[in-house]
Structure 1
Amino acid sequence: MAPPRTPPLFITLSLLCILSLIFFYLYSTSTIPPPPNFKTDFSQDRIKVYVSPLPRSLNYGLLQKYWALSSNTRIGSQVDNEIRKKISPKQSLKSLPFPENPIIKQYSAEYWILGDLLTPEHLKGDSFAKRVSDSREADVIFVPFFAALSAELQLVVDKGVFRKRVETNEDYVRQRMVIDSVKKTEAWRKSGGRDHVFVLTDPVAMWHVKDEIAPAILLVVDFGGWYRLDTKTSNGSSSDSMIHHTQVSLLKDVIVPYTHLLPRLHLFENRKRPTLLYFKGAKHRHRGGLIREKLWDLLIDEPGVIMEEGFPNATGKEQSIKGMRSSQFCLHPAGDTPTSCRLFDAVQSLCIPVIVSDNVELPFEGMVDYSEFSVFVAVSDALKPDWLVSHLRSYSRKQKDRFRRNMATVQPVFQYDNGHLGGVGPIPPGGAVNHIWRKVHQKLPLIREAITRERRKPQGVSVPLRCHCI
């Protein structure tokens, strides 16, 4: 009998290749991806940042001005009035803390971003931003203006002139100082400001000069203070406060998180949550926030639902901690703008966010998948009687536990605080500041393309801004 024939070599090799591909596919589709806060090697392709040389009066000097106030009567300022008693007049500007008043603290991104950039390179650790001393070497130009603090300081000192372009409006004067300073630089002339980065977390920050910085990279909490009707569609109303939709875009701008106000609850600390749905805040809001009042009336008498009206003072903070940590879901309707710091407080409290806003933009999309730990509800559905509560009750315990586990992995992503006095020091490698710079880095090719396109235009030719939609 003839011996069995050996398969040709090419058939054997083909079978091995096919088996390898099958094993690779099975392995890759079953492996759980690393959490978004995993430690990353930022030694390669770090973004190079030049810090525009603004006077200290426009950043840390504003902190000094704030703490030098004899007192602050705005809501939530009790804690800052106590801190004022402990601050020495001779204290270094860079060691001044950011205000703890919740109304102001939620806009502290500018403080932590600048603190990272001012940290000596040998101490920066895993920071994704590398500061350079020559603007010609930089990918972007960071403008170190504490715009949110400037606006809030004016509202403390004299709210009556805040919307007016007058010399007594110190915030307006500071805005003009910033714009006049950066526009004189060679870097601005080369790019038309397209590679300049402004932090505008407060919706009213740099209110009077928004049209002049529209081409720049804007770090905003959402487009609520910008994305409004064009003048032509405003029914003849005054255009003084109208911001054209062409001035902001997901292609060039970065949505950043509010600073959370509530402390982090770790997954192992989680306890029973007897309340189905919790909300604490103001019932009456403007613009898109009108939905909140309608939801309030629908839900106020629902069993298992707690709707509390309150403000972010010391008492309100303790109530929010207790309410969010004992509730399964936390309601997040639009306010004056589509988002608020309440969303990030819910994440830190492991309370599953219920986002009721058809036009919401969220930080770090593409890096963070909010559907893994949040419930998104259309406004039309939320306003149906009994619909929302029934929908939330349909989630199984297993589903809610999975939401909380996923939430625990992203809690560090929204952390700004680095634990260093004055904010200058190594930052959390998987925290908010690094994610912001990574997002800016992703946009560099489009920014460079826009700069190149602008340079080749014939002199005197004006090309209107266009809406870039995603």
Structure 2
Amino acid sequence: MSSDINGEHDMDGKPVLPLRPEAPLWSTGADKELIYAKNEIINAPLASDDPDLYAPLFRNVSIFKRSYELMERLLKVFIYHDGAKPIFHSPELKGIYASEGWFMKLMETNQNFVVRDPNRAHLFYLPYSSRQLEHNFYVPGSNTIEPLSIFVKNYINMISTKYSYWNRTKGADHFFVACHDWGPYTTKLHDELRRNTIKVLCNADLSEGVFIRGKDVSLPETFLRAPRRPLRDIGGRPVAQRTILAFFAGQMHGRVRPVLLKYWGDKDADMRIYSRLPRRITRRRNYVQHMKSSRYCICPMGYEVNSPRIVEAIYYECVPVIIADNFVLPFDDALNWSAFSVVVAERDVPKLKEILLAIPESQYVTLQSNVKRVQKHFLWHPNPVKYDIFHMILHSVWFSRVNQIQIE
């Protein structure tokens, strides 16, 4: 999180491109509250020891704490009721699209942030599912997602014609949440949606010109096997019982995984890299047990930069090793990922074991301890709790909107 909320310098003092959105067509009381919040965050008091926030996990814990406090106190979200199921208001709570589904479910039933009066809102939520778009509009074998993009464009055009709220900011105070790989691409036929809206995306790829760092939000991809028990299997073995140096098992799609398998598949007893776990191995230890027993869990990109393995590693208290160039990591505005993960450039896959072994034992122990500490920020709860993943997503959207508001 930048210590200069205007975005002119990052935490290390390096200049970054400032966001200069167009001024709203007219001002509201919500705008005045955002200006107040921005001033408060800029002048955030130094955070004293907070038992709920471990400072090394954050880019700037003082700014995060003050921003979160103001979100809790001020933030109001209006949810459009337009749109028929299943595309709208139909959360998918199981599998790799669970992030967008759980956020939708918890946002739509929230009584703390949601308001019925849009004139009080700081943010406007567009409650459609990118997974349902794919399921209902993609024609298998067609190799085009244009029908999905057309649907989204028509929906935004309807919203902007029926209500005045989109046009006031040209979509800058609107947001949607999409975990499907195609989420970013479905915005391309509507310029204001692509350029202005806060896009909360699992596929947070800087190289494609859709995800805009400092405005858009990188959404953690969470794979949930049991929606009724989202916290099932959380936890892992202590350091002394983590006998595997590095582990990965998964499909060999994308540009990184085949290289990973080429260099490390069945090549080294310390590097347990598989395209599929052999049955002779799963009889003794299944996929989850491997993650719980490994020091490092390899999280390579697939077709796109995001991977559910990053959050799985955190759930199973295994240090994630992230291999995905141009990927903006989840909650990058707030969290200091170097405190609890290892990022390896795609070109360095051949040196992967050397890189991991070069990490001193004391540093590894700190990384693994911090994985356990950061875990609570990635957990789904049927009833959200402070600082959990629901609130972290909402905070990132709030912080983005505050960051965009102009102080006269």
| TM-score, length basis structure 2 | 0.72
Change (3 A) 1:356 1:364: same
- Within the candidate set 174, 179, 183, 2:156 is matched to 179
- Within the candidate set 91, 109, 122, 1:119 is matched to 109
- Within the candidate set 75, 94, 116, 1:133 is matched to 116
Residue 431 (structure 1) shift: 1.1
Partner residue in 2 for 1:398: 362
Query: Structure 2: 5+ residue runs without aligned partners?
Result: 1-45, 226-231
Q: Is the 8 A contact 2:184 2:201 kept in 1?
A: no
3-state secondary structure, aligned to 1:159: coil
Alignment of 1:289-368 (within 5 A): 290-300=255-265, 301-310=267-276, 319-368=286-335
Change (3 A) 1:294 1:52: same
Runs of 4+ in 1 over 6 A off after TM superposition: 27-33, 36-40, 268-271
Partner residue in 1 for 2:397: 440
- Within the candidate set 223, 228, 235, 2:204 is matched to 223
Q: Deviations over 1:287-307 (max 9, x none)?
A: xxx132222211121221111
Change (3 A) 1:270 1:388: closer
Alignment of 1:42-441 (within 5 A): 45-59=73-87, 62=90, 98=92, 100=94, 105-119=95-109, 121=111, 124=112, 130-154=113-137, 158-161=139-142, 163=144, 165=146, 171=148, 174-184=151-161, 185-205=163-183, 207-212=185-190, 213-214=193-194, 215-224=196-205, 227-228=207-208, 245=209, 247-261=210-224, 263-266=232-235, 272-285=241-254, 290-300=255-265, 301-310=267-276, 319-383=286-350, 387-416=351-380, 418-419=381-382, 426-441=383-398
3-state secondary structure, aligned to 1:219: strand
3-state secondary structure, aligned to 1:364: coil
Q: Deviations over 1:179-238 (max 9, x none)?
A: 2322212111111111111112212137444341112110011333x742xxxxxxxxxx
Change (3 A) 1:260 1:370: farther
3-state secondary structure, aligned to 1:199: strand
d(CA) in 1 for partners of 2:404 and 2:116? Answer: 21
Partner residue in 2 for 1:234: none
Q: Is the 8 A contact 2:97 2:131 kept in 1?
A: yes
- Alignment-mate amino acid for residue 83 of structure 2: P
What's the Cα RMSD here?
Answer: 3.5
d(CA) in 1 for partners of 2:157 and 2:71? Answer: 35
Q: Deviations over 1:109-163 (max 9, x none)?
A: 3322232333362xx5xxxxx11222222111111112223214545xx423462
d(CA) in 1 for partners of 2:258 and 2:70? Answer: 46
d(CA) in 2 for partners of 1:30 and 1:196? Answer: 35
Q: Deviations over 1:374-394 (max 9, x none)?
A: 1222333333xxx32133223
3-state secondary structure, aligned to 2:257: helix
Change (3 A) 1:196 1:261: same
Partner residue in 1 for 2:21: none
Partner residue in 2 for 1:23: none
d(CA) in 1 for partners of 2:348 and 2:184? Answer: 36
Aligned length: 338
d(CA) in 2 for partners of 1:264 and 1:271? Answer: 20
Q: Is the 8 A contact 1:62 1:150 kept in 2?
A: no
Q: Deviations over 1:3-51 (max 9, x none)?
A: xxxxxxxxxxxxxxxxxxxxxxxx9999999336999756854321111
3-state secondary structure, aligned to 2:317: coil
Residue 334 (structure 1) shift: 2.4
3-state secondary structure, aligned to 1:115: helix
d(CA) in 2 for partners of 1:172 and 1:255? Answer: 21
| TM-score, length basis structure 1 | 0.63
Change (3 A) 1:306 1:43: closer
Residue 373 (structure 1) shift: 1.5
d(CA) in 1 for partners of 2:108 and 2:253? Answer: 41
The structure number with the bigger radius of gyration is 1
d(CA) in 1 for partners of 2:198 and 2:47? Answer: 36
- Alignment-mate amino acid for residue 304 of structure 1: D
Q: Is the 8 A contact 1:143 1:198 kept in 2?
A: yes
- Alignment-mate amino acid for residue 432 of structure 1: I
- Percent identity between the aligned chains? 20
d(CA) in 2 for partners of 1:198 and 1:378? Answer: 30
Change (3 A) 1:41 1:198: closer
Change (3 A) 1:147 1:30: closer
Q: Deviations over 1:85-116 (max 9, x none)?
A: xxxxxxxxxxxxx353xxxx222233222323
